[in-house]
């Protein structure tokens, strides 16, 4: 559905900050290289603690971080071959979470039925992914596609983010191209205009026209000189629960979200950049160039964003009833999508306890979308 792009003020109350996730999607646990053979890492996916380990065959497994015997945290144990040992009594669990050994149990007796919940896991694009929902649905969807991955025409920069904020705040930051003012000193973009806005099931796509000027624009190949002002189209696509954004063949970013809790979010991003250098030269300077782009350029933008997101979260916690004014219809469309996705999951699970299609107990939710009523062009 094509939505109106006009900026108009809407009063909203950020009930979305209480919204949970739809777990029936693939979520990133972390970069593959972080999960080393023989080690156990604790990772939390929306308040579901997991013990993640790589066995001697190189396969990664994710178990609920609670032993079915006494409930202690399995990540405090150790890896024994292809199995995980509980730190308390030494109970042994395979990668599927099945108890396959108890050191003091009589060898002539059948082991008790003890099972730690296991989660489907994949490795793709240098990332370990987990499916925290109904495991029978794991094969019905996939992690987002990253066509630039492995393409030598693009310089790939992996970027990690950690925010003390609800995932919806982080998502709104990525959809909001109107905050170039924050990055003004870093020679970011300016004069943004929302050109097109589309919303469909689980998807929001917005196209903005933005202007660039300065050394950053020259480095990116957007302008020939630092004094030249140029305009480009930024396309931002949110397909629940992850992001993709592109800048007209100059750069693109795939932004994968890991919601940890109502006040914590992690991000694993693959940023791709086209550098106007011969391939032989680019191959020589690739490693230092990646570090430069990540630490000197991108990280500075990210740190400014993190400061604003965490400030927003703190004030929300101080007053959950405060009402806000939003003018960007892309943000409202995004909020509707996140809420609807969660509500659908809750309804399918027969555990829904509220209706976000209208006011509930005086709480104002996201206004309905305004369709684009402008005449179509032939």
Domain CATH for 71 = 2.102.10.10
> Is the distance from CB of 333 to CB of 370 less than 8 angstroms?
no
User: What CA–CA distance (Å, rounded) separates 343 from 167?
Assistant: 16
Lowest mean pLDDT among 12-16, 40-44, 134-138, 154-158: 12-16
pLDDT of residue 190: 82
pLDDT of residue 295: 84
- Given a cut of 80, is residue 268 above it in pLDDT? yes
> Is the distance from CB of 243 to CB of 254 less than 8 angstroms?
yes
Give 114 or 298, the one with higher predicted confidence: 114
pLDDT of residue 356: 39
Average pLDDT, integer, range 38-43: 96
Residue 269 lies inside a defined structural domain of this protein: yes
Average pLDDT, integer, range 294-319: 93
Percent of the chain clearing pLDDT 90 (strictly above) = 69
H or E element that contains 238: strand 230-239
- Per the structure, the complete domain to which residue 100 belongs is given by 27-140
Residues with Cβ within 8 Å of residue 139, at least 6 apart in sequence:
none
Residue 378 lies inside a defined structural domain of this protein: no
Total domains in the chain come to 2
pTM: 0.89
Beta bridge partners of 266: 162, 258
**Angle, alpha carbons 57-61-67 (nearest 5°):** 125
Judge if 189 and 99 occupy the same domain: no
Structure-token match 């109904």, residue found? 134
Q: Domain end: 89, 110, 140, which one? A: 140
Residue 377 lies inside a defined structural domain of this protein: no
Tokens read off for 3? 């939505």
Q: Domain end: 104, 119, 140, which one? A: 140
- Given a cut of 70, is residue 352 above it in pLDDT? no
Mark 241-259 as b/e (b = at least 16 C-beta within 10 Å).
bbbbbbbeebbbbbbbbbb
Judge if 293 and 155 occupy the same domain: yes
pLDDT of residue 61: 98
Residue 206 lies inside a defined structural domain of this protein: yes
pLDDT of residue 14: 77
CA 130 to chain centre: 13
Sign of CA dihedral 128, 130, 135, 137: negative
Residue 352 lies inside a defined structural domain of this protein: yes
Q: Domain end: 71, 105, 140, which one? A: 140
Of the candidates 276, 356, 268, 373, the one whose C-alpha atom is nearest the C-alpha of residue 12 is 356
């Amino acid at each position: 559905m094509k939505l109106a792009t006009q900026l108009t003020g809407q009063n909203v109350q950020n009930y979305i900050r209480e919204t949970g996730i739809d777990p029936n999607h693939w979520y990133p646990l972390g970069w593959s290289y972080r999960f080393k053979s023989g080690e156990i890492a604790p990772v939390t996916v929306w308040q579901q603690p997991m013990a993640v380990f790589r066995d001697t065959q190189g396969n990664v497994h994710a178990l609920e971080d609670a032993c079915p015997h006494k409930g202690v945290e399995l990540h405090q144990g150790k890896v024994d071959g292809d199995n995980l040992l509980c730190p308390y009594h030494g109970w042994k669990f395979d990668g599927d979470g099945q108890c396959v050994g108890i050191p003091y149990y009589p060898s002539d007796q059948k082991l008790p039925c003890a099972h730690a919940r296991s989660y489907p896991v994949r490795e793709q694009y240098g990332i370990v992914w987990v499916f925290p929902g109904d495991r029978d649905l794991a094969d019905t969807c996939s992690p987002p596609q990253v066509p630039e991955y492995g393409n030598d025409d693009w310089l790939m920069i992996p970027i990690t983010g950690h925010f003390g904020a609800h995932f919806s705040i982080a998502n709104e930051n990525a959809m909001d191209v109107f905050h170039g003012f924050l990055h003004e000193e870093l020679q970011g973009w300016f004069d943004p205009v929302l050109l097109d806005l589309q919303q469909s099931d689980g998807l929001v796509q917005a196209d903005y026209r933005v202007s660039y000027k300065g050394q950053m624009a020259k480095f990116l190949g957007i302008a020939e000189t630092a004094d030249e002002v140029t305009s480009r189209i930024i396309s931002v696509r949110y397909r629940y629960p992850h992001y993709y954004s592109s800048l007209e063949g100059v750069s693109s970013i795939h932004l994968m979200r890991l919601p940890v809790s109502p006040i914590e979010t992690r991000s694993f991003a693959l940023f791709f950049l086209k550098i106007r250098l011969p391939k032989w030269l680019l191959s020589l300077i690739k490693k230092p160039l990646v570090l430069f782009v990540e630490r000197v350029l991108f990280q500075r933008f990210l740190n400014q964003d993190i400061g604003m997101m965490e400030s927003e979260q703190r004030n929300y916690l101080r007053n959950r009833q405060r009402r806000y004014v939003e003018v960007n219809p892309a943000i409202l469309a995004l909020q509707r999508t996140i809420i609807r996705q969660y509500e659908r999951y809750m309804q399918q699970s027969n555990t829904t306890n509220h209706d976000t299609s209208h006011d509930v107990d005086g709480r104002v939710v996201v206004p309905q979308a305004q369709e684009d009523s402008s005449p179509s062009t032939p």
